[in-house]
Amino acid sequence: MSTINLKGDTSGQVAVVVPAVAGSNTFTIPAETGTARTTVSTGTVLQVVNYQTGAVATGTTVMPLDDTIPQNTEGNEYMTLAITPRSATSKLIVGVVVVYGFNAAAGIGIALFQDSTANALLAVSNTTVGVNSPTQSSLSYSMVSGTTSSTTFKVRIGGGSAGTLTFNGVSGGRFFAGLSGSTITITEVVP
């Protein structure tokens, strides 16, 4: 038998007795603060990052509602959020909720982009309830992280025709005293 002794910073000690068995086992302690886990189940949440804003912004750049992939030059960028995945094989789930008003009777395009990639990852469209009526839309996207480097997700919104879009408000002003907010949440999970 072997014994592993774990000593506290200032006092105390715990002895771990390892039984004599054929073969060898390795336990690697990660170089980070926290609790070391030896097994992680599928669906375990590794981290969650979130951005929420009630700030009002306006934009006039059109996002064509047609059979083309939205580009990172269409619509206006209203939210961004970066995440540094803990594993290149984990799954990132990106959830977006946006509140807006549009001063024309037209469809609205909402698209999700990653870093400087020109093509949208996902796009949805919605029609405002009426001219200058507050409207809410959402989208959800999941992907393999593919990296352990920081990556940034961006939300762009634009009217399908000329007009002014008010993000988090209507007619260029905020709605519900800034409580009518938009969010982007990225959850990293074990695949």
Question: How is the chain split into domains, by residue range?
Answer: 45-189
CATH architecture of 45-189: Sandwich (2.60)
- Beta 45-53 vs 135-144: how paired, if at all? unpaired
At 149-178, the pLDDT tens digits run 999 999 999 999 999 999 999 999 988 888
At 83-137, the pLDDT tens digits run 999 999 999 999 999 999 999 988 999 999 999 999 999 999 998 777 888 899 9
Contact (CB, 8 A) for 100 and 53 = no
Q: Taking the model in full, what pTM does it have?
A: 0.80
109/10 Cα distance (integer angstroms): 59
What is the model's pLDDT at position 30?
59
Alpha carbon distances (Å) from 36 to 30, 124, 151, 168: 7, 40, 25, 42
At 14-30, the pLDDT tens digits run 777 766 666 666 666 65
For residue 158, give the nearest of 117, 120, 186 by alpha carbon.
Answer: 120
Look at residue 78 and tell me whether its pLDDT is greater than 80. yes
147/72 Cα distance (integer angstroms): 22
